[in-house]
Chains A and B, each alone.
Chain A
Amino acid sequence: MHNEGLFVQAFVYLMAAVLSVPIAKRLGLGSVLGYLIAGVVIGPFVLKFVGGEGSDVMHFAEFGVVMMLFLIGLELQPSLLWRLRVPILGLGGLQVLVTAIVVAVLGTIAGLPWPMALAVGLILAQSSTAIVLQTLNEKGLTKTDAGQSAFSVLLFQDIAVIPILAFLPLLAMPVHTAAMATDVVLVAAEHAAPQAGLPAWQQALLVIGTVVGIILGGRFLTRPIFRIIATTQQREIFTATALLLVIGIALAMQQVGLSPALGTFVAGVVLADNEYRHELESDIEPFKGLLLGLFFISVGASINFNLFLQQPFLIVGLVLALAIVKFAVLFGLGRFFQLDLSQSLLFGCALAQGGEFGFVLFSFATQNKVLTPAVAEPLVVVVALSMALTPLIMMANDQLIQPHFAVADVEREADTIDETENPVIIAGYGRFGQIVGRLLVANGFKTTVLDHSPGQIELLRRFGNKVFYGDASRIDLLHAAGARQARLLVIAIDDRERAVEMVDLVRKHFPHLQILARAVDRRHAYEFIRRGVEVIQRETFGSALEMGEEALKRLGVRSYKAHRAALTFKEHDEQALHDMALAEGDETTLVARSRQLMKDLENVLQSDDRELTHEVDRAWDTTALRNDP
Chain B
Amino acid sequence: MAKPMGSPNQILILFAHPAFEKSRVNRQLIQAVQSLDGVTVHDLYEAYPNFHINVKAEQDLLLTHDVIVFHHPFYWYSSPAILKEWQDLVLEHGFAYGQGGTALHGKKFLTAITTGGDKYAYCKDGYNRFTIRELLVPFEQTAGLCGMEYLPPFVVQGTHRLREREEIDQHAADYRAVITALRDGTIHWDRLPQFQHLNHGLDRLICTPEVSQNA
Contact = CB atoms under 8 A, between A and B. Distances in A.
Task: Determine which residue in B52, B55, B88, B91 has the highest number of CB atoms from chain A within 10 A of its CB, and name it.
Answer: B52
A620 B93 CA distance: 10
Interface in B88-118: 88-94, 98-99
Contacts of A618: 55, 92
A618 B54 CA distance: 12
A571 B52 contact: yes
B94 A624 contact: yes
Interface in A597-620: 614-615, 618-620
B207 to A, nearest CB: 40
Interface in A543-579: 564, 567-568, 571
Contacts of A628: 93, 98-99
A585 interface: no
A619 B55 contact: yes
Given A619-B88, A624-B93, A629-B99, A564 B55 contact: no
A619 B50 contact: no
B56 interface: yes
A620 B98 contact: no
A625 interface: yes
B94 to A, nearest CB: 6
Contacts of B88: 619-620
Contact of B55 (A571, A614, A624): A614
Contacts of B99: 628-629
Contacts of B54: 615
Q: Assign chain B's interface to a size class.
A: 10 to 19
Nearest to B53: A615
A571 B57 CA distance: 14
Contacts of A568: 52
Interface in A278-308: none
A619 B89 contact: yes
A615 B89 CA distance: 9
Interface in A181-231: none
Contacts of B91: 619
Nearest to A623: B93
Interface in B60-112: 88-94, 98-99
Task: Determine which residue in B54, B93, B98, B99 has the highest number of CB atoms from chain A within 10 A of its CB, and name it.
Answer: B93
A619 B53 CA distance: 12
Interface string B39-60: 0000000000010101110000
Interface string B17-54: 00000000000000000000000000000000010101
A573 to B, nearest CB: 14
A410 B91 CA distance: 50
Interface in B149-194: none
Contacts of B92: 618-619
A567 B50 contact: yes
B55 A567 contact: no
Contacts of A567: 50, 52
Instruction: Provide the main secondary structure of the chain A interface.
Output: helix
A481 to B, nearest CB: 29
A396 B87 CA distance: 64
A625 B50 contact: no
A628 B100 CA distance: 10
A629 B98 CA distance: 9
Contact of B56 (A564, A615, A624, A625): A615
B145 to A, nearest CB: 13
Contact of B93 (A571, A615, A625): A625
Contacts of B93: 619, 624-625, 628
A629 B88 CA distance: 21
Nearest to A568: B52
Contacts of A620: 88
A619 B98 CA distance: 13
A625 B98 contact: yes
A614 B54 CA distance: 9
A620 B98 CA distance: 15
A511 to B, nearest CB: 26
B98 A564 contact: no
A611 to B, nearest CB: 10
A628 B88 CA distance: 18
A205 B183 CA distance: 84
Contacts of B50: 567
Nearest to B52: A567
Nearest to A624: B93
Contacts of B52: 564, 567-568, 571
Contacts of A615: 54-56
A625 B94 CA distance: 9
A526 B94 CA distance: 40
Nearest to A619: B89
Task: Determine which residue in A571, A620, A624 has the highest number of CB atoms from chain B within 10 A of its CB, and name it.
Answer: A624
A628 B50 CA distance: 32
A615 B50 CA distance: 14
Contacts of A629: 99
A568 B54 CA distance: 10
A422 B94 CA distance: 53
A498 to B, nearest CB: 32
Contacts of B98: 624-625, 628
A619 B101 CA distance: 13
A628 B91 CA distance: 16
Contacts of A619: 55, 88-93
Nearest to A614: B56
A564 B55 CA distance: 13
Interface in A447-506: none
A624 B50 CA distance: 27
Contacts of B55: 614-615, 618-619
A614 to B, nearest CB: 6
A380 B67 CA distance: 79
A608 to B, nearest CB: 16
A562 B94 CA distance: 26
Nearest to B57: A615
A332 B99 CA distance: 84
B92 to A, nearest CB: 5
Nearest to B50: A567
A462 to B, nearest CB: 36
A247 B82 CA distance: 65
A571 B90 CA distance: 18
8 contacts: A568-B52, A571-B52, A614-B56, A615-B55, A618-B55, A624-B93, A624-B98, A628-B98
Given A615-B54, A619-B55, 20 more contacts: A567-B52, A568-B52, A571-B52, A614-B55, A614-B56, A615-B55, A615-B56, A618-B92, A619-B88, A619-B89, A619-B91, A619-B93, A620-B88, A624-B93, A625-B93, A625-B98, A628-B93, A628-B98, A628-B99, A629-B99
Interchain residue pairs A-B with the least CB separation, the first 5: A567-B52, A619-B89, A628-B99, A628-B98, A624-B93
